[in-house]
Structure 1
């Protein structure tokens, strides 16, 4: 009887969990059994590993082989166990020297094998690198295409390998592989190029600056073609670069998604714009094995819902919890997963289905019933969670041909950066994230308090709406480098609070 144990990992949600690949080889009728709640892809590893190991030995599979993926509490999903299973078989069969057996104890192994023993790239390399760091091992071995991504965790020794024989020769000392030496370039800078392309719309531009400075959610209303979508894309470019910690978190999420794994660090805040036919599962995440949805892929960035009333109402309503808490708990039969969902929400809509209700130049073709049905898609509780509302007017002919101004570009970026830094120094978070107790500590002049009371009565604001108005007022004060909230800040914030018809 021969046994071996190799350290690997399994993806659960957006994190990797420790998995020990145990192998027991005994005499008996030839058999190859994998236990420990493997899924179909892991079961199929038997055939991939068999074909790959035939390039090294024909004798391994003449015995009874049992592979256990421990612990058995959760299902093992994915093809990345191939490398650890193959290495454990080689170890138990005596193909590793004594020094190599000691060395493998300090490393984590992940990778999918092709039939000719070459390694194919995997998803979630950064999550496995985090796991290796948490387990305090020396480093990890994985496919060469994933090495740069895994090396974003700089404290690890990361070895990118091409095939199984290369790994075996390295462990046995026949060749010497050098660990990956890659340092991410932190050189992304915010841009106002798209912002400056927008003609006119002074109020909407001001609202965009406030939204970026304080992390406030924004609702853009207006007829077709006035620049709502362009402004949403401009906001993404105006956001400051992610910190190293945030960038690693975002890169890990996108590496684990159905998209192509990124070998570089994502420094620009993500921008997600799902189609209005998107389902609830696609938006918040889920599935039999919970996977992140659009709101998690927009984490630390922008979630843009263009033509928001065209979305199914039940889909929009699931945004309530993540807008408040910055995360979403997805419960399924296989278990529960907590996904991060801290994003800046931008909604856009037309005034009515045809888009021209209230337009002075084009006649609206919608009936009252059609307009009511259209606006009812956006519920009061959802809109109550939006900080800024802007109606974008149709442009005049003179505005369409106005020249792009570059003179105040640096000033805007400087103001936004200073306002965000001031908030982080004062309270450790952006104004949009302030709690009720923190809002009570804000400095407000007495005249501003009196005017606020009048606005509350006039607009019939809920307590949540009042808190959001104060948050926006504080952001305006920060942009103007004022030490307290004053009447003009309250008035500007109230102008961006409500739109008739919604």
Structure 2
């Protein structure tokens, strides 16, 4: 028996799927199957799963030489998702399935020994790849990370036997249901200044460092931040869901518009935080794309791990370079960090004495590193709330709904500035100075404050950005002195 068939599949590289041709040739020779094209161990093992699945579904495994080529050969193929396309191409090459119909699809799926099709991670990147290739996608029926994409039909199979009659059903795509975004700021007693700082951060997507003693409410404030962030727009939903689909995490909440909130333990490795491994896998900063990355106990992270955040914080992406090439991962996130001021946690606390020496305090705070601190726009001291404010004070607190209205109006005003006044979205000093429209007196005040505070060039641009956000919250075209003073207060720790 002789026959050939070429079908399409894809391999995950970072957060995108790269098309792969699955070429099967059946020819006279010693019986056996070989897979070439730089496969990893999981792909090489697929020949046993394919043999068992073909026989279990009532098909005939040819007693000839079978060669499977995965092209391009320069791309390393990983995972078990090539089982389904290899089996389908083999059926097409032997005339047991319609090769012309099979060629219309991009197939991905793992096979059980009984011929059932199992889901693999990355349904959404595979669907995007199929759309670009002008094909329809075929995956397992239990794939839970799919999302609607215009221009591509997403189909599914339960078992390999369905290819006999090409009995394909539409993939069931779960509709995301928007749920509450966690803690409401109304449940946080006191901390009015910290709430204001987080509102400014949400309005302008600024990074925040919350520093204070244990139990002062830093983590609670950070967890309440998503409740005042606007929902994801359509493009942001797909981009964020693409990352989560790549690592096999649920995408329903993201597709409903809820921004990701990733809380990272301080034991996380550099690869776990920024991405890495072989093949390259997205890290926590990519999983927080268009959302919030919360680093609790910031000084407890290793120095090398923290310094790896510097590039993605400025560029909104991370480039991971390996011997076989570079992979770019999205990483546009809001950084919220919490830290104790010293090893014992009570340096500066008005009611409890710190037991650390000045050297210990300095060494502990130096773990964060000046370059990283310089990239965090807002620094806020969070002190413990008086017990009477928690136990007896029944005064209503500012709710997330109220804070969200300020965030929404500020973002709408900023959008109006860019559309009507022609303000640039760039964050360099020249563009920020132009859109701040400061008067001569305000400019002199800012210059004097910057000189007294020994602000770096980056520090000056970050204060300008903060002042512009505060002016947007006040619906002002120009940045006034009070906006500059508040921005300096948020930037400099007292």
2:404 to 407, 413, 422: 413
Q: Deviations over 1:286-326 (max 9, x none)?
A: 11221111111111111111110111111111111111111
Structure 2 CA distance for partners of 1:15 and 1:24, relative to 1, 3 Å: same
Offset at 1:150? 3.1
Offset at 1:181? 6.4
Q: Deviations over 1:28-52 (max 9, x none)?
A: 1111000000011100100100000
Map 1:66-465 → 2, pairs under 5 A:
66-96=67-97, 100-137=98-135, 139-146=136-143, 149-169=145-165, 171=166, 176-180=167-171, 182=173, 184-185=175-176, 188=178, 193-257=183-247, 259=249, 265=255, 267-401=257-391, 402-403=393-394, 405=396, 409-427=400-418, 434-442=427-435, 443-465=437-459
Q: Please tell me the root mean square deviation across aligned C-alpha atoms, in Å.
A: 2.3
| Structure-1 residue corresponding to 2:33 | 32
Segments of structure 2 that go 5 or more residues without pairing to the other structure are: none
Q: Deviations over 1:52-107 (max 9, x none)?
A: 001245642411000000111110011011110000010111112xxx33222221
CA contact (8 A) 1:432 1:471 kept: no
CA contact (8 A) 2:15 2:329 kept: yes
Structure 2 CA distance for partners of 1:462 and 1:209, relative to 1, 3 Å: same
Q: Deviations over 1:376-413 (max 9, x none)?
A: 11211111111111111221233223336367654422
CA contact (8 A) 1:82 1:110 kept: yes
Classify the secondary structure of the residue corresponding to 2:17: strand
Map 1:5-84 → 2, pairs under 5 A:
5-57=6-58, 59-84=60-85
Q: Deviations over 1:122-160 (max 9, x none)?
A: 1000000000011112x11110112x6434213321212
CA contact (8 A) 2:3 2:27 kept: yes
C-alpha distance in structure 2 between counterparts of 1:47 and 1:112, whole Å:
12
Classify the secondary structure of the residue corresponding to 2:170: coil
Q: 1:494 aligned to 2:488?
A: yes
CA contact (8 A) 2:57 2:160 kept: no
CA contact (8 A) 2:217 2:384 kept: no
Q: 1:478 aligned to 2:469?
A: no
Q: Deviations over 1:253-280 (max 9, x none)?
A: 1111154576972521111111111111
CA contact (8 A) 1:34 1:68 kept: yes
CA contact (8 A) 2:272 2:284 kept: yes
Structure 2 CA distance for partners of 1:75 and 1:263, relative to 1, 3 Å: farther
Structure 1 range deviating more: 431-440 or 336-345: 431-440
**Number of aligned residues:** 489
C-alpha distance in structure 2 between counterparts of 1:454 and 1:81, whole Å:
64
Segments of structure 1 that go 5 or more residues without pairing to the other structure are: none
Classify the secondary structure of the residue corresponding to 1:22: strand
C-alpha distance in structure 2 between counterparts of 1:118 and 1:263, whole Å:
29
Structure 2 CA distance for partners of 1:254 and 1:134, relative to 1, 3 Å: same
C-alpha distance in structure 2 between counterparts of 1:314 and 1:180, whole Å:
43
CA contact (8 A) 2:11 2:77 kept: yes
Structure 2 CA distance for partners of 1:264 and 1:86, relative to 1, 3 Å: farther
Structure 2 CA distance for partners of 1:149 and 1:314, relative to 1, 3 Å: closer
Classify the secondary structure of the residue corresponding to 1:472: helix
Q: Deviations over 1:165-187 (max 9, x none)?
A: 12322x2xxxx5443465845x6
Structure 1 range deviating more: 208-217 or 334-343: 334-343
CA contact (8 A) 1:307 1:350 kept: yes
Structure 1 range deviating more: 111-120 or 269-278: 269-278
CA contact (8 A) 1:436 1:467 kept: yes
CA contact (8 A) 1:280 1:314 kept: yes
TM-score (norm 2): 0.94
CA contact (8 A) 1:197 1:404 kept: no
Structure 2 CA distance for partners of 1:183 and 1:431, relative to 1, 3 Å: farther
C-alpha distance in structure 1 between counterparts of 2:112 and 2:77, whole Å:
20
